[in-house]
Amino acid sequence: MVIDVLSQILAGQSIQGSDRSPSSSALEALAVFAQKIQKNESEFKSMGDDALLEKLKAFGVKIDRPALEKLCEKHVSIDAFVTPWVEKAMDTLDDTSDVDSIMLITMELWDRWFPEKPSFARYVGLVEDGYFKMKPEEQVLRAALWKQAYDEMIRLMKKTKIRTLAELDEASEALRCTIHWAESFVILLGRLGDKDDAYNQMRVEVCEEMLELLDCEDERFMRFLRKSLAQSCFKFGAEDTTTRLYKGWLAEDKRWGKGYVAWAKCYESRNDAIGTQIAEQILREGLGVSKVNDRESILRSLANNLKRQNRAKEAALIFNKLKKSPNATTDCDDDSYEGCSCGEPNEDED
């Protein structure tokens, strides 16, 4: 929508396809226009059904509830039927804000009358509200909004037969970062799950559903979901389930080095001697795999593991070996943006 473009411009970003930023006078004009759109959106939410229909009629759009229901049943994109309306009513519209008013009113009626019928506009709006309308400390509220967005995403994918998040991005047109958002949502559930098991359960269900529903053409994202699922199962105390999951995944993907690291981390999170010893066994199993990926990551995790077991000499030998390795890198094994020296979650580095 126009408001999305305006938000980017008002944030100081250059216009797509141009290396020029807008002038201060253009920014002022756009700011006024954006405020008008936001005011209209708030106004439409407070209006009754009949008043909204009359407003559409004033713009040259004649529609009633049964007719709109048929359109919402047939389409998942509001543009599919609003664009023809606008083209027919172009002579009666004053400016671009009228076009956005038609869009906003139709979206409001769709949400109000047919919330069970999935809509790309509703999905995108919920994702954006979670990002931009919530304060940093409002994590629970953000999770609630994003759970609604996730449910809408699943309904959209089932209705349209879309099987990848890349296809979903292309179809939604307004959102081009579904994988990044999905990762942020799963990570958020994990953080909240540290204090409330209900979010851990939600995280398990979300990861299981996406792994089952999606054709994971993005290997890194598939691995991210697997690690998140196993981590939450372990937090529930389902150690046997976690072990079964990792054994199955590593049987399919033997060289997944960071899979061994993540599996070991689950046991290290127990903070007891037995858990640390089991983690060591897992890491050594990974090192025994021919041509395992991210061998340095496994070695670094093993060195830290040995250090925790007060086996400083063994740990020092590995650390010295890593320093001499031409492929040595700095790895972040945390699944959050916080406390990570590289500034990004470990799931981005599979």
CATH number (domain holding residue 295): 1.25.40
Q: Does residue 73 lie within any of the structural domains?
A: yes
Same domain, 280 and 342: yes
Give the pLDDT score at 38. Answer: 59
Pair (199, 132) in one structural domain:
yes
Tell me, yes or no, whether 67 and 30 share the same domain.
yes
Q: What is the DSSP-derived secondary structure letter of residue 62?
A: -
Inside any domain, residue 232: no
pLDDT mean over 203-225:
91
Please state the rounded mean pLDDT for residues 245-260. Answer: 96
What pLDDT, in 10s, does the model give residues 116-149? 999 998 998 899 889 888 888 999 999 999 999 9
Express each pLDDT in 165-210 by its tens digit: 888 888 876 666 788 999 999 999 999 999 999 999 999 999 999 9
Name which residue leads in pLDDT, 311 or 10: 311
Over residues 315-327, the pLDDT tens digits come to 999 999 888 776 6
- Name the pTM for this structure: 0.78
Q: Is 4 part of any domain?
A: yes
Query: Which of 186, 217, 248 delimits the end of a domain?
Result: 217
Distance CA 261, CA 194 (A): 20
Q: Give the pLDDT score at 157.
A: 92
Domain presence at residue 321? yes
Q: Please state, in angstroms and as integers, the Cα–Cα distance from residue 210 to each residue in 155, 224, 268, 335, following that order.
A: 12, 11, 27, 18
Q: How many angstroms separate the Cα of 37 from the Cα of each of 4, 79, 110, 133, 215?
A: 11, 18, 18, 16, 38
Domain identity same for 157 and 208: yes
Asked whether the predicted pLDDT for residue 154 surpasses 90, the reply is yes
How many other CB atoms are there within 10 angstroms of residue 182's CB atom? 24
Amino acid at 198: A
What pLDDT shows up at residue 44? 86
The answer to whether residues 72 and 110 belong to one domain is yes
Are residues 169 and 278 both part of a single domain? Answer: no
Does residue 248 lie in a domain region? yes
% of the chain residues with pLDDT over 70: 78
Which of 217, 251, 283 corresponds to the end of one domain? 217
User: What's the pLDDT at 132?
Assistant: 86
Is the per-residue pLDDT at 7 higher than 50? no
Q: Is 227 within a domain? A: no
> For the residues of 200-235, what is the DSSP string, one character each?
HHHHHHHHHHHHHH-----HHHHHHHHHHHHHHHHH
Same domain, 100 and 190: no
- DSSP for 325-339, written as a single string: -TT-------SSSTT
Asked if pLDDT for residue 295 goes beyond 60, the answer is yes
| CA dist list (Å): 267 to 68, 112, 238, 264 | 54, 48, 11, 5
Spell out the alpha helix ranges (H) of the chain.
Answer: 2-10, 24-46, 49-58, 65-74, 79-89, 96-113, 120-132, 139-160, 165-172, 178-193, 197-213, 219-235, 239-252, 257-268, 273-287, 295-308, 312-324
- Is pLDDT at 16 greater than 60 in this prediction? no
**211 and 264 inside one domain:** no
Q: What share of the chain in percent tops pLDDT 90?
A: 57
**DSSP per-residue codes, 123-135:** HHHHHHHHHHTS-
> Three-class SS of residue 241?
helix
Q: Which helix (H) or strand (E) holds 103?
A: helix 96-113
Parent domain of 134: 118-217
- Number of separate domains in the chain: 3
Question: Domain check: are 264 and 332 in the same one?
Answer: yes
Measured CA to CA, the distance from residue 95 to residue 112 in angstroms comes to: 26
- The reply to whether 311 and 333 lie within a common domain is yes
Tell me whether residue 184 is in a domain.
yes
pLDDT level of residue 105 (50, 70, 90 thresholds): very high
Question: pLDDT band at 85, cuts 50/70/90?
Answer: confident
pLDDT category, 36, cuts 50, 70, 90? low
Q: Residue 328: inside a domain, yes or no? A: yes
Residues 82 and 130 in one domain: no
| Contact between residue 335 and residue 228 where contact means Cβ atoms under 8 Å apart | yes
**Same domain assignment for residues 255 and 180:** no
CA distance 190 to 105: 37
Rg (alpha carbons) of the chain, rounded to whole number: 25
CB-CB contact of 140 with 202 (8 Å): no
Listed residues 94, 114, 134: the one ending a domain: 114
225/203 Cα distance (integer angstroms): 10
Q: Which residues contact 32 (CB under 8 A, 6 or more apart)?
A: none
